[in-house]
Structure 1
Amino acid sequence: MLRVDFNLVLTMINLVVLFLILRKFLFRPVMDIMEKREAMIADGLKNAETSQTEALELKNQYEAKLQGAKEESSQMIERAKQEAKAEYDRIVNDAGTEAKKLMQSARDTMDMEREQALRDMKSQVASLAVDAARKALLDSGHGADDQSVYDQFLKEAGDPHGRTEE
């Protein structure tokens, strides 16, 4: 049968005491350290996942804002082009209107100057005709002098046909 020896009992007691001592001073602290490390790693992974989620959200917000900014800048450029075209058209229309006014003013001035020149010429012709008639009346009776009076008149008035004295 089985014989229990006192040494065997002491060895078993030593093993149980050793196990309890190791469990108290070695296994528990090691297990606590391992649990703490496991918790720390789990927190690190959770924080990394949270950070990654936040980064993706920020990236999506940034891309949305960037797209909005692109659309806004496109609208601003289009609006600026439309305003520039409207300003260009207004300036061209104003310039055309001003040019028409200047042309009409120049025509009016030219017409007035032509009319004034015609009046001056009529006045001079009338004055010359009166002078010629006066001379003709004073010298009436002298046929040769009539030709000289006529030549003198043409000399002073200017011959419109380009005749010169013969």
Structure 2
Amino acid sequence: MGAVVQALGLNNTLVAQVFNFIVLLIFLRIVVYPHIVRILEERQNYIEKNVSAAEEERKQAESLRQQYLAEMQKAKDEARDLIQKASKAGEDQAREIIEAAKAEANRVKESALQDINREKEKAVAELRDQVATLSILVAGKVVSEKITADIQRNMIDEFIKEAGDLPC
């Protein structure tokens, strides 16, 4: 090999360096590169896993968002239904209260009319009794006295006066 090295005009140091470089490359290829390739593959797998996990989490987040929006819409619909039911119940209750008040007013009115009619009949009966009593008194006075124009006039005035004092 020495003759080849001298024929090419290379010195021994350069040949030793080239030989060492080739041995180093072989050593690196056999011992170091597999570890570096394995570490790079692990790193690539880790990154792919993180990307796929992030994509899955994004899908889950979107799913949860859609579910949340659906639940919010459902809650709004339920709230609207409750408000409508409460409003309808309030209107129904108000209508029932008004009807009950009208019925009570009619009952009170009828009762008052009956009381008025009773009192009216009672007053008419009392008036008849008083008129009858006065008629009897007048008839008794007429029978016991001789009626002159002045006496008749006085009796009529007295009768009108007594009838005017009666409560109606």
| 1:73 to 2:99 alignment | no
Shift of 1:10: 4.8
Q: Which residue of 2 aligns with 1:107?
A: 113
Task: Give the gaps of 5 or more residues in structure 2.
Answer: 7-11
Q: Residues 3-152 of structure 1: matches in 2 within 5 Å? A: 4-5=4-5, 7=12, 10-11=16-17, 13-23=19-29, 26-139=32-145, 141-143=146-148, 144-152=150-158
CA deviation string 1:59-88 (max 9, x = no partner): 111121122212222222222222122112
Q: Which residue of 2 aligns with 1:156?
A: 162
User: Aligned partners of 2:18, 2:102: CA distance in 1, in Å?
Assistant: 120
Amino acid at match of 1:14: N
User: Which one has more relative contact order, counting CA pairs under 8 Å at least 6 apart?
Assistant: 2
Aligned residue pairs total 156
Shift of 1:30: 3.1
User: Aligned partners of 1:115, 1:102: CA distance in 2, in Å?
Assistant: 20
Amino acid at match of 2:85: R
CA deviation string 1:95-132 (max 9, x = no partner): 11111111111111111111111111111111111111
- SS of the aligned residue for 1:34 comes to helix
Task: Give the gaps of 5 or more residues in structure 1.
Answer: 160-166
- Provide the alpha-carbon RMSD of the alignment: 2.5
User: Aligned partners of 1:68, 1:146: CA distance in 2, in Å?
Assistant: 99
TM-score (norm 2): 0.79
CA deviation string 1:114-156 (max 9, x = no partner): 11111111111111111112222222x2524333233222222
User: Aligned partners of 1:39, 1:153: CA distance in 2, in Å?
Assistant: 131
> Percent same amino acid at aligned positions?
31
CA deviation string 1:28-67 (max 9, x = no partner): 4433332232122111101110100101111111121122
User: Aligned partners of 2:95, 2:131: CA distance in 1, in Å?
Assistant: 53
